[in-house]
Structure 1
Amino acid sequence: MGSSLEAGEVLDVRGLSYSIGSRQLFHGLDLEVGSGESVVVMGPSGSGKSTLLSCVLGLVRPDAGTVAVAGAEMTLLKGRALAKHRRRSIGMVFQFGELLPELSPADNVALAALLSGVPRRQAYQTAHDLLTELGVPSVDRADRLSGGERQRAAVARSLINAPELLLADEPTGALDETTRDRVADLLFAQPRARGCGLLVVTHDMRIADRADRVLQFRDGVLVAGAAAGGVL
């Protein structure tokens, strides 16, 4: 499988083009994320932020361009090979956590490792260690966690397979201000703590202020922007 990744890069998007009907979301879009780096992509609702993440995950096939993640070209992978590489190389944090409510936090986190073939004892030990590190209480059902606790559990789940790339889609959009700041601080600490890359899409400049780089959608491509306190 081919790759266009340079040393230190975990994500390299080149010439990405994608249309929905007569509307072109991307037109020759480029994006790079390095290991240990955090990048925020901003844009209004409907600008293509979530679609971009879907292309990186291999869930949406672009009309043109390449998407290399952790040494593999996602547009060339299919079926089991794509799912395997996604599980091992990418961690995902959604806006609402997307935990299975009837399972415990440990079950939710360990499940991601079990699906990747990690032995049960090792999966649960790693899940326990991550949840403890991230301050998630031990409860028997995930729906008994607060909003902030659910998001921290979601971050733990995204980290359990030691991915090279973390993705987050409006990860604090459903949280109050205090909880938002705590979860954002935790999420943006991960690249330097673990050597992974982090790509966050959001419309919140207060979140973007934590990133190493901020990019904004403009006419189907990404251009450099400023975080909170600057001008986009």
Structure 2
Amino acid sequence: MVEKVLSINGLTYDVAGRSLFASLELAVSAGESVAVMGPSGSGKSTLLSCALGLIRPSGGVVEVSGADLAGLRGAALARHRARHIGMVFQFGELLSELSPADNVALAALLAGVGRKDAYTRAQALLTRLGVPFAESSEELSGGERQRVAVARAMINSPTLLLADEPTGALDEAAKEKVADTLFDMPRRYGCGLLLVTHDPAVAGRADRTLALSAGALVPALGGQVAVQ
């Protein structure tokens, strides 16, 4: 039986007087990639924030690697997040004055990994992802910075990888390379990948493509919401 690394059941969330999610259901298994599409304001980034434990939903259960995030607080939540979840943001969110290796190793150091081991892991990931040596991350291209962000997200061997519009700020060539990198992670490392995007070409690479519609997730075909 394949392990579910993310299980969302009956998720509800109200914001600004409206219901963003209405008993939303989602499961992501180890080794599986799932893409979520939807217009701006539909709740894609909020869904990722719920999976990160940054937002407490109005109702429902969000489990990551078997732990209900609502039952974790403070340091316990931070430890679970560091151990089990990696996050890739649209603009990378790197510390530009640090080298790629420093950016990646820092995530491991903050999780309690020893310095030598952290830098060994960081350099191995960066080499595998084809990131060139640089004194600072600002020397890299946009696509190279995003590959650094993927390496940083994977440094602690998470069971769940989240990506929020990871190719949205890239040109076509860089987009393809970053998408290749992201969708290789479940196959190579056995983690689950949940990616939100506006781009049908990127979403179409996933094992499953879903769309947020009326507060629920429905199958999407060719980047369009399937007729139910």
Report the TM-score range of the alignment, normalised by the length of the smaller protein: over 0.9
Which amino acid in structure 2 is aligned with residue 145 of structure 1? L
Q: Would you say 1:63 and 2:58 are equivalent positions?
A: yes
Residue in structure 1 matching 2:42, options 40, 47, 52: 47
Alpha-carbon offset, residue 178 of structure 1: 1.1
Measured in 1, the distance between the counterparts of 2:55 and 2:155 equals: 24
Determine the C-alpha separation between the residues in 2 that align with 1:122 and 1:99: 21
Distance 1:64 1:90 in 2: 22
Task: Give, in angstroms, the shift of residue 231 of structure 1.
Answer: 6.3
Structure 1, unaligned runs of 5 or more: 1-5
Residue number in structure 2 paired with 1:143: 138
Partner of 1:157: 152
Amino acid corresponding to residue 167 of structure 2 in structure 1: T
Aligned match of 1:29: 24
2:217 is aligned, of 210, 218, 222, to 222
How far apart are 1:186 and its partner, in Å? 1.1
1:171 alignment counterpart: 166
The normalised TM-score by structure 2 is: 0.97
Paired residues of 2:219 and 2:225 also in contact (CA < 8 A): no
Q: Equivalent of 1:192, from 187, 190, 206?
A: 187
TM-score (norm 1): 0.95
Gaps in structure 2 of 5+ consecutive residues = none
* C-alpha contact (below 8 Å) 2:153/2:161 kept by paired residues: yes
- Distance in 2 (CA, whole Å) between partners of 1:206 and 1:136 is 24
Other-structure match for 2:33: 38
Q: Deviations over 1:159-206 (max 9, x none)?
A: 000000000000000000111011101100110111000000011101
1:208 maps to what in 2?
A: 203
Rounded to whole Å, the distance in 2 between the matches of 1:67 and 1:8 is: 15
2:71 is aligned, of 76, 98, 101, to 76
Q: Residue 130 of structure 1 corresponds to which residue in structure 2?
A: 125
Distance 2:172 2:137 in 1: 22
- C-alpha distance in structure 2 between counterparts of 1:42 and 1:22, whole Å: 23
Partner of 1:10: 5
Any conservation in 1 of the 2:84–2:158 contact (CA below 8 Å)? Answer: yes
Give 1:222 shift: 0.4
Query: Do 2:28 and 2:34's aligned partners in 1 also have CA atoms closer than 8 Å?
Result: yes
| Residue 138 of structure 1, CA deviation | 1.1
Structure 1 residue 7, shift from structure 2 partner: 4.8
- Residue 3 (structure 1) aligns with: none
Report the Cα distance in structure 2 between the residues aligned to 1:31 and 1:231, rounded to whole angstroms: 16
What SS is found at the alignment partner of 1:53?
Answer: helix
Query: Counterpart of 1:118?
Result: 113
Count of residue pairs brought into register by the alignment: 226
Q: Deviations over 1:43-88 (max 9, x none)?
A: 0000000000000000000000000001211111110000110011
What SS class does the counterpart of residue 225 from structure 1 fall into? strand
